[in-house]
Every structure is written in structure tokens, then in C-alpha cells.
Amino acid sequence: MNKEAAITMFMQAFFGNSTSGASGTAAQHRRLVEESSRYLKAGKKQLLFNEGDQGSELYFLARGKVKLFRATEDGKEAVIRLLDAGEYFAEILLQLKNRYPVSAITLEDSELLAIDARKILTHIENNPAIAMQFIGSLSQRIKYLLGMVEQLTLSDIRQRLLHYLRALSEKQHSRHIRLPAAKGEIALLLGTTAETFSRLLGKLTAEGIITVAGRNITIEDMDILLREDKLSTIPE
């Protein structure tokens, strides 16, 4: 992996097909990212930024895994998201500027692009014609995050887990899926305790819906999973 390859991945993740057939615009966007970013390698358990830190960089994860988390009032950790390669984060700086609303730490050796949000904003301000493409990309992100909030607020832990397993299955294109982090981290992400999460995995196994081997899970009965997962779509 190198910076050029990471930029290519970011262009696809952020703009998708929005630059297809618009080579001039696509080239302009790429030059902007090249000039506004730095490529970095981070070791396992390396803190990228702390909640409340001042900063101006949004990040794209080219390789590895990253955890976003916040500290609760009682000093405990609340996992916000677990990120895989191909995802970007801290893009909220394009709206809030200056301070990170969460903390970010790598879960394994990782490679990232750190992109200066101030330069992106300046470029948008000076080129109104391309602003809609950036707004469109960020709108899709907001739609995804709203879906996550809805899932956490409207469903019980069993439904949240089934929905999460379905999302992983679709993302990994297989019934055989691997949890992106330790079970305790996944439990926090789903808003429950490690003990409740383990009991639920055992119950789903006893019902024949899944089998579990460490962090590897096989969905044995996809029909039941889809029937119980009342959320009709997976946020994209």
C-alpha cells in the first residue's frame, strides 16, 4: 500500500460513481486530495486523536481496523463505531471544525490518509460548482448514521444483533462472517454487556440460527435471521 493507492480507494469510497464520465472533475478532486492529505502508518492500539482534541484532519482507513469511542459520564467507554478498511471517519470536521467529537484508536496495524478538512472547505468555497458533489457524498453518510441511530433506539438487543449479523454477511458477501473486533467490543457497539452478548450468542446457537467459533460466526438459517430482522434495509 502507498499514498497513491490509498487515494484511489478514498476516491471510490467518497465519490463512488459520482465522478464517472466527468474525468475533468474527477482529476480536480484527486489533485485536491493529493495536495491536502498525508499518508501514515499506525501500530496496533495507537491513539489517533482524543475526544475534544483540536484538529483539522478527517481520516480514510486504507488498511487495518479502527475503533471510535466516547467516555460516558461515569468514566466508562461507549463504542461508537468499528471501522474496516475502505471507510472514512471524522468527516464531521467539515461541519463542526476544530474539535473531534469522539476518540479514535487502531485495533491492529493500520494505514491511513489524513486529509486537511480546512483545505477541502476552502476548495468548496472557491468552486461552488463542485459543492453539490461533496454535499451528496456527505448526505449518504448522514443517512447511514441516522439508520444506525434508529437501529439502536427502536430495536431490542436480539434484533440489533441479528441486524448486525445480516449487515456483516452482506458486507463480507458470505454466510461465514468474522467479527471485526473482540466480542466485548461488539457488545459495547450494540449497547449491551459482554455477558448478555455471550448469552444471546448461545441462545441463537441453540436455536440453530448460527454457529460460533471464536470470532467466526456462520449463519446456519438465513431465512429465520431475515424474518426476525424487521429492519428492511441495511444502511449503505
- Return per-residue pLDDT of the chain as tens, 236 residues: 899 999 999 888 876 644 444 456 678 778 888 989 999 999 999 999 998 888 888 899 999 999 998 887 777 788 888 898 988 888 776 565 578 888 999 999 999 999 988 887 777 777 666 666 666 666 566 555 555 555 554 457 888 888 889 888 988 899 999 998 888 888 888 878 888 899 999 999 999 999 999 999 999 998 888 887 654 343 33
Same domain for 12 and 72, yes or no, is: yes
Matching residue, cell 473486533: 181
Q: pTM of the predicted model, to two decimals?
A: 0.66
Q: What are phi and psi of 43, to 5 degrees?
A: -80, 170
pLDDT of residue 205: 94
Q: Are 115 and 58 in contact (CB under 8 A)?
A: yes
Give the angle 48-54-60 at the CA atoms, nearest 5°. 40
Task: Provide the CATH number for the domain around residue 14.
Answer: 2.60.120.10
Same domain for 127 and 163, yes or no, is: no
Same domain for 144 and 180, yes or no, is: no
Same domain for 147 and 33, yes or no, is: yes
d(CA 139, CA 133): 10
Length of the chain: 236
Residue 235 lies in a domain: no
DSSP strand E in the chain: where?
37-42, 47-49, 57-63, 65-71, 77-84, 87-89, 103-106, 110-116, 176-178, 210-213, 216-219
Which structural domain, as residue segments, surrounds residue 121?
Answer: 3-152
